[in-house]
Structure 1
């Protein structure tokens, strides 16, 4: 594993870092308060090429390797985890088509994303979170169409996407063996957006309920064969989890830098608190944890780019980085004391944002099961 980045990767990292410093970080607290990303920022993200990162080069995308994408998401995570989550949802939604989509499906899906639109990956339901086999949304074949009925919840980009990957069951009571993936356009009759979630963190990210009432889609919108949905979902999550880890690392890094700056400036007992060994120990622990998380993310991405198995390493990277983001941000609030608990500083936002990293795209308890299965079986 080569720890030297290419000139292109370094240039790209700097470009994103500058973009975040100018367009995202100064507005992060306002976006968190309002619970929305301004439309002009989406336009700027599109112009900067940050909405179609996983689109292959042959479909007019950047064709980036996983490590390069991770570098980008780390920088976006530093600026605002909510914005990073929304852009990463495009990657999550594109992977089922990258993996098993037909030529026609790839051109359709990627043209929508390349045009600056958002996409959404809709697996979770009120009764189906970690247990994908409990999906109750149905897809009944009727001639050359499927009729979809059901409800999805906690869907990132749910209210603002133009195209969706919907998982439904094509065989009643079949569990994961009946799970099938479909492409659904936003304007399809019978498809509607339900309530928007009022979240603790990543508030800039849109999270909504989706309602499907006799939604008719052509057979051509089915990805792969009937019953392949579970395999598609698991491979998609394997591919996307290191990017959750990258966002977690960026979030933790931003919080850490805030704590270091504050510790140098905050005077107590006629000294900056950075001179106190207990504070130094907290900062040192943060630095170690962030560096370890970053390297685990890089390794998972590197393995993916080599075309070798990486499911275990993907789960390790996501789990460790998310746990690190949570621990680091809690400790940052502690270093800042009362100011850490106040909305005057971004420390409390970092802590609220970090919690979801341990929950979405597979809870960290599920990640531990994935890791254990790779070890034991």
Structure 2
């Protein structure tokens, strides 16, 4: 049997509609009918730059929600049943091709290590499909050793760790990733959470846990941040900027104590040393990856907790718009908007 899918045949060209086989689930895999495939800005980078594309053809969309149609063998898969709705992160190691697991098609496979049941969240399929990439990425950024390495909320280590006197700066807090960062920072117990975003986001970010807000359009952003934290900031997240534009996060870090900036985008490129300050103790700048398939030992830390946090309202679904059908022209328009820095998160209903 075959299905419709949007595929990338050549880097730098538009996605096209095609037919491809419906895959069969292997061990600890599920076959799902896609109900919501979430697009993110990195999907334009896959189409235009080849990001995450190990081979062609390629299918974008790593945020997935769907109805289980078949359950493969294995103890992990046995926890799921036909008819249940799940949300999942597509399997996407850097050096392998797993397009059977990607979202812009009618049917896809799900790796049960990277999935959970939507019924346990209290969310709709579309709301749940905002979680697997963005929220997982911020979980890694804050709690995995490649990021800030903070204790995971609710663990004994977290209970023994007091961050009430510590501050964290979140640059790009108005984005879906940034909003998740604010909520995770609140859960981690930071006493001061500075949200850097556009003014329309202030009220919502304060409600989510930000103790301070800095308008990203202000002429004295760094002065405002340093007025709040002095020279004591050790933790910062930048979820929106590429390397050369990451100077604000580093400049805000302490000049006398070693701080860390964690980013979701590459740290390549030279920084303007005159803008970041003396940094006498140095600083760390790290890019983290939210791809759970490449850190399988850490994936359960997220997937075994996130549904309960969603149900309790401690973590919120992201914002999105819905588009019906696998319309190549319309999906390419969405990716073009991401390319131009003007897009919002869009969920496709295949």
TM-score by length of 2: 0.24
TM-score by length of 1: 0.23
The structure in which a higher percent of residues are helix is 1
